[in-house]
Amino acid sequence: SQQGEEDPQALSIQEGENATMNCSYKTSINNLQWYRQNSGRGLVHLILIRSNEREKHSGRLRVTLDTSKKSSSLLITASRAADTASYFCATETGGGADGLTFGKGTHLIIQP
């Protein structure tokens, strides 16, 4: 079953604009991670935020986590054509029984 749900399912913006995508989840987590996938290939880890953290930055990426609302957001600033990809949030709930639980992803298209 899906733990995380990304919103929106698809997003198209102009190069240079900022892109924001959201993730909601259902149960308590140890950490939440964001991954990028280009065109049906392997996933690339972007950033991990732990349940006791509220915000994290990595280059042009900013992730926030609100455990009271069970939600997270990923902001990509100054988008580039190379950012065109699908973005997934994945939650780690502890115990390992479910591995990482992924949402269905947001497909981001950056228009040149």
Partner 1 sequence: KAGVTQTPRYLIKTRGQQVTLSCSPISGHRSVSWYQQTPGQGLQFLFEYFSETQRNKGNFPGRFSGRQFSNSRSEMNVSTLELGDSALYLCASSLVAIPYNEQFFGPGTRLTVL
Taking CB under 8 A as the criterion, the residue among 21, 100, 108, 110 binding partner 1 is 100
Considering the rule CB under 8 A, would residue 88 count as an interface residue with partner 1?
A: yes
Q: Whose Cβ is closer to partner 1: residue 13's or residue 48's?
A: 48
> How far apart are the C-alpha atoms of 46 and 52, rounded to whole Å?
19
Nearer to partner 1, 71 or 86 (CB): 86
DSSP E strands in the chain: the ranges are 5-7, 10-14, 19-24, 31-37, 43-50, 55-58, 61-66, 71-76, 85-92, 101-102, 106-111
Number of residues forming the site for partner 1 (CB under 8 A): 27
- List the interface residues with partner 1, window 6-65 (CB under 8 A): 30-31, 33, 35, 40-45, 48
The nearest distance, CB 39 to partner 1, in angstroms, is 11
Phi-psi region of 49 (alpha: psi -120 to 50; beta: other; left: phi over 0): beta
74 and 88 in contact (C-beta within 8 Å)?
no
Residues that bind partner 1 (CB under 8 A): 2, 30-31, 33, 35, 40-45, 48, 88, 90, 92, 94-105
